[in-house]
Amino acid sequence: MKHVVLLLVLLLLVGGLVAVVGVVWGIGVNNALVRAEQDVNEKGAQVQNVYQRRADLIPNLVETVRGFATQERTVLTEVTQARARATGVQLTPEALNDPKAMERFQAAQQQLSGALSRLLVTVERYPDLKSNQNFLALQSQLEGTENRIVVERRRYNEAVREYNTRLSLFPHRIVASFAGFKPKAYFEAAPDAATAPKVKF
pLDDT at res. 89: 80
44 falls within a domain: no
Report the length, in residues, of the chain: 201
Residues 25 and 157: their CA atoms lie apart, in Å, by: 28
Domain count, the chain: 1
pLDDT digits (tens, 9 = 90+) for 78-98: 888 888 888 888 877 777 778
Instruction: Using DSSP, state whether 151 is helix, strand or coil.
Output: helix
Cα atoms found within 13 Å of the Cα of residue 87, Cβ hemisphere only:
13
71 falls within a domain: yes
Domain range spanning residue 142? 49-179
pTM, two decimals, is 0.71
199 falls within a domain: no
Q: What is the CATH number of the domain that holds 162?
A: 1.20.1440.20
Of 50, 114, 57, nearest to 82 by C-alpha is 114
111 falls within a domain: yes
